[in-house]
Amino acid sequence: MPSFPLIPLGELLTYAPDPHGVEPDGEYPIAGIYGFGRGMIQRAAVAGREIAATQLFRIRAGQFVYSRLKSFEGAYAIVSPEVDGYFVSNEFPTFDLHCEQLEPGFLGWYFKQDRVWRQLASDGKGIGARRERLHPRRLLDHAIPLPPIEQQRRIIAKLDGVALQLKTMRRAADAARAELNAAMEAAFRRVIGGVSRIAIGDVAPILRRPVELESNGVYAELGVRSFGKGLFKKPDLIGGELTWQKLFRIHCGDIVFSNIKAWEGAFAVAKPEHHGKVGSHRYLTCVVDTKRATPNYLWYFLQSEQGLAQVQAASPGSADRNRTLNQKKLAAIRVPLPSLDAQLWFDGLQQKAGAVQSGQVEVAAELDHLIPALMQQAFR
């Protein structure tokens, strides 16, 4: 594809503020801009008496607008029809397009590129990432590659078409994921139906394996993600650099709990690649009696609505960081215990479901790269 002439936005846009005084008895629907090129935010109307500013600015569909404060993270947009006539503050410079030269959709897609945000942010004024402001003059000095208007329309049609297809595919994937999860829940209800419950401490007691630290020792540390998202590798620790910290060994098959985040699902089953690594004193390990239960079965129950409710009840406290998992209450959690064969059968279902979901994640990752690749080709 040939390169197109670079034209400063000052030749394609006109700064077009539309100020309106704020009346105490007036109603003002407020618009905002999502970061990362995700379009406009539609907010409810606010009474004038509740607005500190004495002046707001009306925006119109098809205009270009950005946030001075959030430009560094992609808060640029073409004003969409649903916020036509809404108001913004003076932190949202607004521009009319010279539509005989520049299609709104073309400019909208151009500003979805993170390389453009970075380029403009490099000359932003302010201290710290959250305080950078992009002055309109700097924006208008920025030059964009500008193909003929008909070619702009073809580029828009192509990108819009691909975006619609991706949206449809993601919706289908979400629906399939929801259906798969519902099938797993139904299978689990069948497995636990009518079975007796025991304290989890009877089948998976807490066992901690203290590590004797050596000054020159290197210790591979693990952490646990919330919402059932598994274990992750943390930076290695050097024994001689540790002062008050205590470390505990983790073995494959352990159920590893964060004792401050278990209430939001921060616990996972250690896999073979985690064997022998360590966790801090903030982590508890339950060792499963594999003649009676499987780690993955117990994990699934604890992540379920009824299981997680018990974990939360075992984590007293009101503030987020103060909800610490009580060891005695953890050991007392009641779990349904079907036959080992039934648990193994359900583990097989979990494995198959996990393979399907992993495949979906890989496909989604590939799709996430498609639009940026097309934009790079279109706007070079």
Q: Find all residues with CB under 8 Å of 189, minimum gap 6, and list them.
A: none
Rounded Cα gap, residues 323 and 320, in angstroms = 6
Return d(Cα 289, Cα 174) in angstroms, integer.
36
What's the pLDDT score for residue 132?
A: 66
Tokens (6 digits) for 214: 């050596």
Domains and CATH numbers, the chain: 6-146 (3.90.220.20), 197-337 (3.90.220.20)
User: Residues 173, 360: contact at Cβ < 8 Å?
Assistant: yes
Looking at residue 129, what is its pLDDT? 47
Q: What share of the chain is helix, strand, coil (3-state, %, to 5)?
A: 40, 20, 35
Residue 375 pLDDT:
85
Beta bridge partners of 64: 78, 95
Strand order in the sheet with 13-15: 13-15, 94-97, 64-66, 76-78
Residue with token string 């000054």: 215
| C-alpha to C-alpha distance for 57 and 86, rounded to whole angstroms | 8
Q: Comparing C-alpha atoms, which of 379, 302, 327 is closest to residue 110?
A: 379
So what's the pLDDT on residue 123? Answer: 59
Tokens of 118: 């970075």
Q: CA distances (Å), 73 to each of 8, 20, 39, 116, in order?
A: 21, 28, 12, 10
Residue 136: closest CA among 190, 93, 177: 93
Residue 1: its pLDDT value, please? 44
Residues of the chain with pLDDT under 70: 1-2, 123-132, 319-322
- In angstroms, the CA 271 to CA 231 distance is 9
